[in-house]
Amino acid sequence: MAIALISTNRNFLELQEQIQGLDPNIQVDIWPRIKAKEAVRMGVCWNIPEHALSPYPNLQLIQSYGAGVAELLEDTSIPAHIPIARMSLESLATDMLAYIEWALMDIRHHGLFYRANQSAATWAPKDTLRHQDLSIGVMGLGNIGSYVSQSLAAQGYRVLGWSRSKKELPLVHCFEQQELHNFAEQCNVLVSLLPNTDETQGLLDLELFKSMLKPSFIINAGRGTQLVDEDLIYALDTQHIQGAYLDVFMKEPLAQNHHFWNRKEVMITPHIAAKTRVADAAALIVENYSRISSGMPAQFLVDRRKGY
Ligand code: NDP
Ligand code: OXD
């Protein structure tokens, strides 16, 4: 029995070492050098080419190396009967919280405005915003969003949460799917921590931006497909939105000629808000591998109908 580590853009050498450090009996090979293809029971995948999983006749589990699984679900070369598990780690939630806190501090201290002023040598002081000046709307209340929303609420922000099914979270005012506009109209900052599904595509659009409280900011760390890029540009031009912090994009890396690069009201980060930490991933992979080896279901299985 073996695990195949497959990625076109991650170096999995350290992951291989960590998995074998936890259980030296597991055979772990890194794609494309997979020794015995029929021995592979689990494929750990991130950014894989189509058909990369076709050569393994005894595959029992596909383990995503990240929380997002849309690319794996869209890959028609993967048979629908093979279960897919997502990466669901405490460290993804704590790292994401740190990213959102950083963006919120920048919003409160007018970072986008002062950086633009610095490049023009302009002295223009503004009042710093306090926690209580901003209502934060967290879209997606799963592993990451539920932790982020509750932590921000504990820091003194007014926090609202929105998810497909209604949640009960201490200190967070929760809304369900059909209450999107009622939710957004009470928020200064919309933070997307949603998966990429048919239903979440294009949610961050001009109509939603117009309904928000002023000043209005967007933080997108979910997936780039959720944002209508042209609507954001228009909303910045017309002052419906004052600034955006974007970590994910429709196409990554973001094209060099994309309009976002030249906007002083947009902060771009290269999909680093919460990167999977190797040691934590290795522990989850070994746990899921032991589970499937004993005939148990893996943890954090994706529901193909929901798309996450
Ligand atoms: P989970 O699956 O735990 O949570 C997803 C949440 O989104 C759930 O609350 C779910 O609702 C909600 N949701 C899904 N579809 C809809 C919809 N149509 N309308 C309203 N709510 C919806 O995922 P995680 O918290 O682990 O991760 C979330 C996403 O964050 C990932 O899929 C990935 O895209 C992104 N991510 C980005 C990273 C980065 O570095 N930028 C790092 C890690 C993750 P319900 O609870 O009712 O099911
Ligand atoms: C993601 C991740 O899904 O890096 O973006 O986990």
Crossing angle (nearest 10°) for helices 111-119 and 90-108: 60
With residue 115 as reference, give the H or E element that holds it. Answer: helix 111-119
- Looking at the structure, tell me whether residues 120 and 84 fall in a common domain: no
Cα–ligand 1 centroid distance for 181 (angstroms): 19
Confidence (pLDDT) at 61: 98
**Residue 99: both structure tokens together:** 């990213």
Confidence (pLDDT) at 50: 92
| Residue among 9, 65, 139, 163 whose CB has most ligand 1 atoms within 8 A, to mutate | 163
- Looking at the structure, tell me whether residues 47 and 142 fall in a common domain: no
| Cβ of 70 below 6 Å from ligand 1 | no
Confidence (pLDDT) at 98: 99
- Looking at the structure, tell me whether residues 97 and 60 fall in a common domain: no
| Cβ of 143 below 6 Å from ligand 1 | yes
> Residue 42 is which amino acid?
M
**Closest listed residue to residue 172, CA positions, set 192, 154, 195:** 154
Cα–ligand 2 centroid distance for 34 (angstroms): 25
Ligand 2 atom nearest to 92, measured from its CA: 6
- Looking at the structure, tell me whether residues 209 and 111 fall in a common domain: yes
Domain that holds residue 135: 91-268
The CATH number for 68's domain is: 3.40.50.720
| Cβ of 195 below 6 Å from ligand 2 | no
- Looking at the structure, tell me whether residues 230 and 161 fall in a common domain: yes
pTM, 2 dp = 0.98
- Looking at the structure, tell me whether residues 85 and 196 fall in a common domain: no
**Number of independent structural domains in the chain:** 2
Confidence (pLDDT) at 220: 99
| Cβ of 264 below 6 Å from ligand 1 | no
Confidence (pLDDT) at 150: 98
- Looking at the structure, tell me whether residues 183 and 71 fall in a common domain: no
Confidence (pLDDT) at 281: 98
Low-confidence stretches of the chain (pLDDT < 50) are: none
Instruction: Using CB atoms within 10 Å of the CB of residue 55, give its burial: 0 to 12 exposed, 13 to 18 middle, 19+ buried.
Output: middle
Confidence (pLDDT) at 44: 98
- Looking at the structure, tell me whether residues 130 and 200 fall in a common domain: yes
- Looking at the structure, tell me whether residues 71 and 179 fall in a common domain: no
Confidence (pLDDT) at 89: 98
Q: So which residues are the catalytic ones?
A: 223, 271
Confidence (pLDDT) at 13: 98
| Cβ of 87 below 6 Å from ligand 2 | yes
Cα–ligand 2 centroid distance for 50 (angstroms): 19
- Looking at the structure, tell me whether residues 47 and 146 fall in a common domain: no
Q: How far is CA 201 from CA 58, 205, 228, 249, 289, in A?
A: 34, 10, 9, 12, 33
In a domain, 239, yes or no: yes
In a domain, 299, yes or no: no
In a domain, 14, yes or no: yes
Considering just the CA atoms, what is the radius of gyration of the chain in Å? Answer: 21
- Looking at the structure, tell me whether residues 148 and 240 fall in a common domain: yes
Instruction: Give pairs for 9-15: CB < 8 Å, separation 24+.
Output: 9/46, 9/47, 10/46, 10/47, 10/65, 12/44, 14/278, 15/44, 15/278, 15/281, 15/282, 15/285
Nearest CA to ligand 1 atom 44: 67
